[in-house]
Amino acid sequence: MSHISISPPPVEARSSRSFRRTFGWTVAALLVLCGVFLALGYLQGPKLSSAQVDADAVVTSTDQTLRLFVNQSIAPVDSAAVSVEPAAEATASSDGDLVSVQFEQPLDYNTDYTVTVEGVVSPSGGPETTLSYSFTTGEPELYYLDRGVPNDEIIRTGMSSQERSVVFAGEGIQEFVPVGDVVAFATAAADRTGTLMLANPDTGVSEQVLLPEVGEVADLDATRSGALLGFTISSDDPGPIAAISHTLYTVDLDRGRDVVAVTGLDGEPMRVVGWQFVPGSTTIVAITTESTLVRVDTTTGLVVPLGGYFEFDRVSADGSRVVVNDTRGSAAVTLSDGTEVRLHPSRINGEQPFIGQTDADAAGNLVAKMVLVGESGASFSSILAFDDGDESRILYQTVDDKGAILDFRVSPNNQFVAVEVQPNVSEFDSDEYVMNPRPQSVTTYLVEIATGAVTRSMEGFEAVWR
């Protein structure tokens, strides 16, 4: 009998088969786990993974976007699925795992918003889910001028804070405007010859801008973004009506200190009755000394005439319209196409008011100075009112009608209005400045347009949101 000897497989072969079995079971287990997670994801539906929104930009301009990132691709989402609380108009679109919610108007300052998107589903179906995201909006800084002795002060403060910081202090500040990282301001000598100064609040350094001609410096304005500054200069001999002889200039402080004249339809430096930057842009709107309303693209130099008017009031806070005057009264002109709407204020408590300075937005709402005349015609009340086209309601009225509303400025998001008030007109207390004289006692009140509530007051004037 022969004996057959069977040798065990080599150790290497046994290890290889064991590795393959272990690897196979591991892969199988991972596939099962992936299937489980995929099934769970399918059963649970899409989820919000992150979001992006500029809380400061969303209160200053239109068409700001909230981006919602989902943990998987989703079926198309439309605007009907989106809701915003507090209520705000918004549209929506989606692409892959991104939902974009675009706000049609600036949102309110320092407000908690919640955006909800319903009916979100995977492209292959499955359960619908709701995406929800909350954020708090920012609020801009507020600048104003407080004239006094020994120095005038340009003040920076917050909307909801009583804290104030002095940006610049000096003598004889006629007017000012924040622009980029600096504050521009004009001063004037006794003969009205002006200077244009720039002050940096962070470094404390100030400088004088070299001007192309000697004369009165006035009508300062600046773009909200970037550093484009505009102003007018009137020559030493401007003619019999100095107010309508100003030449319009701009300087881009991001590119240096070169002062450039704005040219008109004839290619010559433009002389204007009044002007302003369109909020949120570098476009200029002006009325020339030839009584032509024009829109000027400062990038291309294109000048577009919009009609004939002789008095400039203001561009609306939302940048849609400009209020002007002619022999027939006040009109709001749409800046995109020159369409004109005549302004006739609605009644207040059954009385027909007379309209003055006005801010007219794209929806046709008016914030305006109005005058109510008593039944006898011997008394009148000066008020600031909001008019929605159906009726007017009083936003601000001085105590016992003893004071006067001097001017007002609507905030960029149309939420507040800054009202400049002289408390008592029976006392003549002019500061006797060469240009832009004001009463020595001027208080600016912040009034919420929706409610008429006064939220704070400041001793000064010329409030600017930045």
Average pLDDT over residues 241-249: 68
Residue type, 19: F
The per-residue pLDDT for range 344-394, each reduced to its tens digit, is: 999 998 889 999 999 999 999 999 999 988 766 666 788 999 999 998 999
Question: Are 218 and 246 a contacting pair, CB within 8 Å?
Answer: yes
399 DSSP 8-state letter:
G
The per-residue pLDDT for range 380-437, each reduced to its tens digit, is: 788 999 999 998 999 999 988 888 999 999 999 999 999 999 988 877 789 999 888 9
348 DSSP 8-state letter:
B
The answer on pLDDT for 2 being more than 50 is no
Strands across the sheet with 443-448, in order? 404-410, 416-422, 443-448, 454-459
- Structure confidence at residue 9 (pLDDT): 56
- Structure confidence at residue 233 (pLDDT): 94
- Structure confidence at residue 101 (pLDDT): 97
Q: What is the pLDDT confidence band of residue 24, given thresholds at 50, 70 and 90?
A: low
Rounded CA gap, 16 and 325, in Å?
A: 94
- Tokens 């521009």, residue located: 184
For the CA atoms of 123, 124, 130, 131, what is the dihedral angle to 10 degrees?
-40
The per-residue pLDDT for range 166-222, each reduced to its tens digit, is: 999 999 999 999 999 999 999 999 888 999 999 998 888 999 999 999 999 999 999
- Structure confidence at residue 350 (pLDDT): 84
- Structure confidence at residue 44 (pLDDT): 65
Q: What is the pLDDT confidence band of residue 56, given thresholds at 50, 70 and 90?
A: very high
- pTM (whole model) above 0.75: yes
Look at 27 and 367; give whichever has higher pLDDT: 367
Average pLDDT, the chain: 89
- Tokens 């022969």, residue located: 2
Q: What is the pLDDT confidence band of residue 271, given thresholds at 50, 70 and 90?
A: very high
Q: Which residues are within 8 A (CB) of 94 and not within 5 positions of it... i.e. 6 or more apart?
A: 74, 75, 76, 77, 100
- Structure confidence at residue 33 (pLDDT): 53
The per-residue pLDDT for range 133-168, each reduced to its tens digit, is: 999 999 999 999 999 988 999 999 998 878 899 999
Average pLDDT over residues 83-103: 95
Question: Are 370 and 426 a contacting pair, CB within 8 Å?
Answer: no
Average pLDDT over residues 258-264: 96
